[in-house]
Structure 1
Amino acid sequence: FAMSSDKEQIKAENSNITLMEFLLLGFSNTPSLQRTLFGIFLLIYLTILICNSIIILITKIDPDLHTPMYYFLGNFSFLEICYVTVTIPRMLMDLWTQKGHISFLACAIQMGFFFMLGGTECFLLTVMAYDRYVAICNPLHYSLVMNHKFCIQLVAASWITAVPAVIGQTWQIFSLPFCASHVINHFFCDVPPILQLACGDTFVNETAVLVAAVVFIMVPMLLIVVSYGKIISSILKLSSARGRSKAFSTCSSHLTVVVLFYGTATISYLQPKPNQSEEKGKLISLFYTIFIPTLNPIIYTLRNKDITKALRKLLAKLLP
C-alpha cells in the first residue's frame, strides 16, 4: 500500500508539472548552431515584416492599386505578418536563451492563434481565387459583383469563420491529461507533438484534427482547383496571345503561393501519422511557418507588374 501511495503521489506531481509548463526542444540537437540559426531566423523575420509592410503601404497609397485584387493582397500581407509573429519571436527567444520552457496557457494560446491564422489563410486564398475567377470569366460584371462592401464581407468571413472551430479544437486538446513526458520535440506548440504527450486514447482528438484539416485545407483547395479550372478554360478561349499572357500573369503569383502553402499543409496534416517522423514533421513545419511566408511577398512583387510599378513610384518619391 505504501508503494502504491508513493507511485500515485509521483504521478500526481508529474501531472502538476506538465500542467504548469512544457519544454520545447526546438533545435537543441544542434547546440553549436544555436546562434547561427538565431541570426538566420531573425533576418528572415525582419524580411517578412519589411516586405509585407511595403506591400500593405503601396496598396494603400497608390490609387492604381485600389482594386479588389490588391485589397485582398494587402489583407493577405497583414495576415502573413500575424501568422509568422505567432511562432518566430518565441523561437528566436528560445534560440537566444537556449531554454524552451513554455507555460501550459502560452502553449494553448500559441496553438490557437496559429491554427486560427492558418485557417484564415486557407479561406483568404480561396477568396483571392474567386476574385480572379470573376475578373477573368465574368469581366463585364466584375465591378458589380466585387464591390467594396462585398470585398469587406469576404475578408471578415475569412477571419471569423475559423475562430469557433479553433477554440473548440484547442480546448479539446488541452483538456487531455498530460501525465507522461512534458518535452515537445518541436519549435512551437503544434498538434501532432502535443497529442503524443497525452495519456490515454487520443483517437477522438486525432479524428477531430483530421476532420478540421479536411474542412480548412481540402475544401478550400478543391474550390480553388475548380476556380482555376474555369479560369484556364476561359483564358485558352481568348483569341489574343497578348490577352492570354496578361490573364495568366495576373493569376500566376497567386497560383504559385497556393501550390506552396497547400502542398506543405497537406503533407503535414493529412498524411497518415506513422508515415511521418518527428524530425521530418519539424522540417515540413519550417517550410510552411517560415520559408513560404518569406517567399510569398517576393513572388507577388517580382511576378506582378502593377506592384513593381507602384514600388518604383514609391522609391522615386523617397529617393529622387
Structure 2
Amino acid sequence: MGTFLLFQASFGLLALLLSGVLVVNMLSALMAGQIRQIGVMKAVGAQSGQVMGVYLGTVAFLGLLALTIAIPVGVSVGEAFANFISKFLNFDLASYAVPPWVFGLEIAIGLLVPLMAAAFPVYRGSRVTVQEAISDYGVGRGSFGASALDRWLGRVSGLARPWLLSLRNTFRRRVRLGLTLTTLAAGGMVFMAALNVRASFINTLDQMFNSARYDISVGLAQLAPIAQVEQVVRNTPGVTQFESWGMAEAVVVYADGCTGLVISKGLRYLAPLDMTVLLLT
C-alpha cells in the first residue's frame, strides 16, 4: 500500500508540474496578445506595477474560480477512485472524510501555483515601453538576426520559400518555443510514466497470481479453534479443497543444538499444519 500511495503522489506532482508549465505557456501567449493594450494603459499613465496587479489579480480570480469547481469534483472523483481501489485490493474503507489540511493544501496550491507560474510572463510583459507596445506587430521586437542561430537560419538554402519562412518563424520567439516544447515534453513524460507503471503493475499482479496456487486466502482477525474453522469452510458451497495454515514465533537453531535470538518482529513464519511448506513473509 505504501508503494501504491507513493505512485499516486508521484503522478500528482507530475500533474502539478505539467499544470504549472501550461499556465506559463498560456500567460505568455496572453501577454503577447495584450502588448498594445499594455501600451495604451501606460500611455494614459499606468505604471508597470499597476499593470502587473491587473493581470495577477485576473490570474488569482481564475484560480479561485477553478477551486470552486475542482474541490467538489476532486472529492467526488476521489471517493469513486477509493471505492475502486478498495474493491480491487480487497479491503474495506473506514471513512471517506477528507482531512482539513488537504483542503488547505489544495487552496494554497490552487492560488500559489498559478501566481508563481504567471509571475515571469506578467513581469516581462508589463516592462514593455509605450513605443515598443505601439509598434509591436506580433512577430518580435526587432532582435531577430542578431544571434548565431538566426544568421545560420538565414544561410539555409535548398528549401522551398514556405519551408524557409516556417523554419525561421519557429525560432523567432524562442521563449515561447521553449515553453511549448517543455509542455509537450512534460505531457509525454507523464504519459510514458503512466504506461510504464500500468505495465509494471499488471506484470507484478500476474506473477503474484501465477505463483499463488489458490483462489482465496482468508485471515482471521482473532484466534479460533482449527477444527471449528475447518468445519465452517467444509460446509461452504463451492469449496473443493482447503488448507489450514498457522503462524508461530521462530528461533534460530545452530548445528551444535544451541538456540539463537528470536527472529525479529518484521518476519512471520507461516506453514500448513503438516509442515510440508514454509513461507517467510
Same fold (TM over 0.5): no
* Greater relative CO (CA pairs within 8 A, separation 6+): 1
Q: Specify which structure has the higher proportion of helix.
A: 1
- Which of the pair has more CA radius of gyration? 2
TM-score (norm 2): 0.30
